[in-house]
Amino acid sequence: MSDFFVKQCKHFPQDVVYVLGGGSSLQGFDFEQLKNKFVIGCNDAYQLGSEIVEITVFGDTSWWKHHREQLKFYKGLVVTNKTSKGEWSQLNIMKRLSNEISDEDGKLGWFGNTGVSAFNLALLFGAHTVYLLGFDMKVCDRTGTANWHPNELSKPKAAHYNKFMKKWEMAARQAAEKFPEVEVYNANLDSQMTLFPKIPREEAVA
């Protein structure tokens, strides 16, 4: 990972990286438990503040246009692989690899999914262990919601998650080939993603 990222990160990882997705399983979760951990958040996770989410990743132009004004108040590092240029210095743009997990500095995989990009960034930071939080890959049966936060831009359905899962299968396979020493855990026993071993969230954040 380049010195550019290393110098800007308060808690540069030596071992463990948490990737914070948007799944509704995190509704009611005490995010304060993630303080003093190295957390890469997807999209709206920046609203938790830089003391919890040190890096925010996004890849969709529509999301950027909707959040860019509020995002200016976020004090963490913002990373994207979207193709258009950013409008202020806080935005760090990496080259987008459409369907490839990157093992090179300055390049970041996409697979049409911000979660994969955040996962790839965790790998590039040299993590030995990656915990995925909020990667449910489904709409909550109880509440009918898909996210732990309000989402004004999209209402995912089962078909969307089926598409995401096919891309995740490609990404996971490539990650295992390029980063065979990294252990990845899905910290949601109820997740529909079965690509990585599942463990209780309490165990992951302990």
Mean per-residue pLDDT of the chain: 85
- Closest by CA position to 70, among listed 35, 95, 44: 44
pLDDT digits (tens, 9 = 90+) for 31-68: 999 998 999 999 999 999 999 999 999 998 888 888 88
pLDDT digits (tens, 9 = 90+) for 160-190: 667 778 999 999 999 999 999 999 999 999 8
CA distance 187 to 96: 27
Domains of the chain (ranges plus CATH)?
Answer: 3-205 (3.90.1480)
Average pLDDT on 137-163 reads: 62
Position 60 scores a pLDDT of 87
Position 72 scores a pLDDT of 87
Position 97 scores a pLDDT of 96
Buried b (16+ CB within 10 A) or exposed e, 56-91: bbbbbeebbeebeeebeebebbbbbbbeeeeeeeeb
- Judged by average pLDDT, the poorest of 90-94, 131-135, 149-153 is 149-153
- Confidence label for 86 from pLDDT (cuts 50, 70 and 90): low
